[in-house]
């Protein structure tokens, strides 16, 4: 069991699926229902029908484990749900390099969400903000007296802030921010209910008219950070020295810091990792996406969410900071057995731990992408996996897929038609 608890599981990707499942079972202490959920999507038709409207069925994606994560001294296997080949392999490889240099250091903020109330038609616009703030205790009490599961866990309204937008197209506008500690929940429902509950009180205090009452997805009080380093020599290849690779990665990173066109793609690579963990754990990945991109543009220009530099010893240092409004209780996480299994596999004890692991996955994913781009280009790896997928799609068996893929690559003809021909030829030969 001790050996299993190290996330550096040798040649995990080479093992047959059943063996990978057995490793997952031991790692997450999964029961029969959990294993069943991994095989049949974790959501019954009846549950699906209750989850959204107009349901006609269910839709599956693969769930995989990214290996090698060592974060704050603890081993993790990261569950990832994603349709894109290469992502999980690249992430595991990156995590291995970080691991060999001591792993990731990660931290996160308390689970503080921002809820917004839009106030218009204020009779005394200049003084309305101060008036609202002077009644802060009463307003926060009105939220917290409502109780609920988040309050029972020690969360609730913490503070009020007021932002002023004079002379907009919609007139003078005041925006009240309610800062709300959602504990282990993402908290969207709790905060939206709280905003709707206190809106009439804010109208009475200010004499204004409330329009919108909704949380902000720019959850910049709920940031997660991860950092780590990789020795230059671990980046050397037969085509480039480690130092050259470090320099090329830093150049790639600077490109994404200065150019929004590149930053969008750079951050997409980060979100390949982050979204995959969010999907696996039943989290609202669109909320996390929205927050990440808004945060990337916080200084007025859209930039990368990561930073890569060379340290004094010539090694590569990377860091990420990203808002991560996630939950481990409530929402889809509660209903979806697959999400429950993902959380068991992660073994996180708090939402902050989930955010820290997710940030590390984002950083690893970004490293893998820019390392590939700054060295061989990403197509080499992609085409290898694409060839394997074609081999399977052409009717090749699991056992044959690798050989067929290699033949497609050797012939420089990575096409479904050719894969079908090879499958036929192999069948004839056997």
Mind telling me the catalytic residues?
A: 84, 268, 284, 382
- Count CA atoms closer than 13 A to 383's CA, side-chain side: 15
The nearer residue to ligand MEV, 357 or 369, going by C-beta atoms, is 369
The nearer residue to ligand MEV, 196 or 259, going by C-beta atoms, is 259
Tokens at 43, concatenated: 């959501």
Number of Cβ within a 10 Å radius of residue 324:
31
Least gap, CB of 272 to ligand MEV (angstroms) = 5
Least gap, CB of 292 to ligand MEV (angstroms) = 14
3-class state of residue 279 by DSSP: helix
Least gap, CB of 348 to ligand MEV (angstroms) = 26
Q: Which range binds ligand MEV by CB under 6 A, 2-10, 291-299, 322-330, 369-377?
A: 369-377
Among 378, 383, 392, 409, binds ligand MEV (CB under 6 A): 378
Per-residue binding string, ligand MEV, 297-326, x by CB under 6 A, is ------------------------------
How far is the C-alpha of 268 from the C-alpha of 393, rounded, in Å? 27
Least gap, CB of 5 to ligand MEV (angstroms) = 31
The nearer residue to ligand MEV, 30 or 370, going by C-beta atoms, is 370
Q: Does 370 bind ligand MEV (CB under 6 A)?
A: yes
Backbone angles phi, psi at 175, to 5 degrees: -120, 120
Beta strand pairing status for 105-108 and 223-230? Answer: antiparallel
Q: Does 344 bind ligand MEV (CB under 6 A)?
A: no
**118 and 224 Cβ atoms separated by less than 8 Å:** no
The nearer residue to ligand MEV, 31 or 379, going by C-beta atoms, is 379
* 37-96 binders of ligand MEV (CB under 6 A): 84
Least gap, CB of 171 to ligand MEV (angstroms) = 43
How far is the C-alpha of 225 from the C-alpha of 106, rounded, in Å? 5
The helix (H) or strand (E) run that includes residue 160 is: strand 156-168
Q: Exposed e or buried b for every residue in 263-288, given b needs 16+ CB within 10 A?
A: beebbebbbbbbbbbbbbbbbbbebb
Tokens at 109, concatenated: 């903020």
Task: Give the binding-site size for ligand MEV (rule: CB under 6 A).
Answer: 10
* 226-285 binders of ligand MEV (CB under 6 A): 265-266, 268-269, 272
How far is the C-alpha of 57 from the C-alpha of 95, rounded, in Å? 36
Q: Which residue is nearest to ligand MEV (CB)?
A: 269
Closest CA to 215 of 187, 237, 242: 187
Residues forming the site for ligand MEV (CB under 6 A): 84, 265-266, 268-269, 272, 369-370, 373, 378
């Amino acid at each position: 069991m001790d050996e299993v608890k190290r996330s550096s599981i040798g040649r995990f990707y080479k093992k047959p699926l059943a063996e990978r499942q057995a490793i997952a079972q031991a790692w997450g202490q999964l029961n029969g229902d959990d294993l069943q959920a991994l095989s049949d999507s974790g959501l019954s038709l009846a549950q699906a029908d209750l989850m959204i409207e107009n349901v006609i069925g269910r839709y599956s994606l693969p769930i995989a484990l990214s290996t090698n994560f060592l974060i704050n001294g603890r081993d993790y296997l990261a569950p990832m749900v994603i349709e894109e080949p290469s992502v999980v392999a690249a992430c595991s490889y990156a995590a291995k390099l970080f691991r060999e240099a001591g792993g990731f250091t990660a931290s996160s903020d308390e689970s503080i969400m921002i809820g917004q109330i839009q106030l218009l038609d204020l009779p005394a616009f200049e003084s309305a903000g101060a008036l609202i703030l002077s009644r802060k205790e009463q307003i926060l009490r009105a939220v917290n007296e409502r109780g609920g599961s988040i309050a029972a866990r020690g969360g609730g309204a913490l503070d009020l802030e007021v932002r002023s937008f004079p002379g907009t197209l919609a007139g003078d506008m005041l925006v009240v921010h309610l800062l709300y500690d959602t504990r282990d929940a993402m908290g969207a429902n709790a905060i939206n209910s709280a905003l709707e509950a206190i809106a009439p009180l804010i109208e009475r205090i200010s004499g204004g008219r409330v329009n919108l009452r909704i949380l902000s997805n720019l959850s910049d009080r709920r940031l997660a950070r991860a950092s780590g380093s990789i020795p230059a020599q671990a980046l050397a290849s037969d085509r480039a020295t480690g130092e050259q690779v470090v320099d090329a990665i830093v150049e790639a990173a600077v490109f994404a810091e200065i150019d929004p066109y590149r930053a969008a793609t750079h951050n997409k690579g980060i979100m390949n990792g982050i979204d995959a963990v969010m999907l696996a754990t039943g989290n609202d990945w669109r909320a996390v996406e929205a927050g990440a991109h808004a945060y990337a543009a916080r200084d007025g220009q859209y930039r990368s969410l990561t930073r890569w530099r060379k340290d004094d010893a010539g090694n590569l240092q990377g860091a990420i900071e990203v808002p991560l409004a996630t939950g481990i209780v409530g929402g889809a996480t509660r209903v979806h057995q697959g999400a429950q299994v993902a959380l068991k596999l992660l073994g996180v004890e708090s939402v902050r731990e989930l955010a820290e692991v997710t940030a590390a996955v984002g950083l690893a994913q970004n490293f893998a992408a820019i390392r590939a781009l700054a060295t061989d280009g990403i197509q080499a790896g992609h085409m290898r996996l694409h060839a394997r997928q074609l081999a399977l799609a052409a009717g090749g068996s699991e056992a044959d897929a690798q050989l067929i893929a290699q033949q497609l690559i050797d012939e420089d003809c990575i096409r479904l038609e050719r894969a079908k021909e090879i499958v036929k030829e192999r069948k004839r030969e056997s």
